[in-house]
Copies of this chain bind each other. A is one copy, B any other.
Amino acid sequence: MAAVTGLKIGEVSKQTGVAVGGLRYYESLGLIQSARGDNSYRYYPPETVRQVQFIKKAQALGFSLDDIGEVLTVHHQGDVPCEFVQELLQGKIQQLEAQISEMVVFKAELERYRDRWAANHPHPQPGDICPLIEAIPLTAPA
């Protein structure tokens, strides 16, 4: 009878707000680790709570579990992974920036079509169904 100690999965769940199934999922990805008792129950070391909180925070920054796994791997190698996290973060920021400007451009485009219709109002040309729709860029904007 090994002295298996630690938090049972429900306790970790309560302390982190992450559902039991979610924790099992994290463990299946290798993000957290448990010892197993004779009853086959998972027993987590106390620091698991902080690790799960770390996972949640990193997720809140837009990191995937894959990203987080890489960070934790660096951590397990005994290094402080901040440089690596910084790189990931910078990448996320640039991604966001690109998405934002795409959306701004597209919004301006939609506004242009909306306003053109509002100004022109119903001038359905022969063959047109709705000038507003016909004006939508079905081809690349010339």
Q: Inside 8 A of A97's CB, which chain B residues have their CB? A: 107
Considering the chains assembled together, what is the distance between the CA atoms of A79 and B122 in angstroms?
Answer: 13
Minimum Cβ distance to chain B for residue A63 (Å): 9
Cross-chain contact A82 with B139 (CB below 8 angstroms):
no
Interface size band for A: 35 or more
Cross-chain contact A82 with B47 (CB below 8 angstroms):
no
Chain A interface (Cβ < 8 Å from any Cβ of B): 16-18, 47, 50-51, 53-54, 56-58, 60-62, 71-72, 74-75, 78-82, 85-86, 89-90, 92-93, 96-97, 99-100, 102-104, 106-107, 110-111, 113-114, 117-118, 121-122, 124, 127, 129-134, 136-142
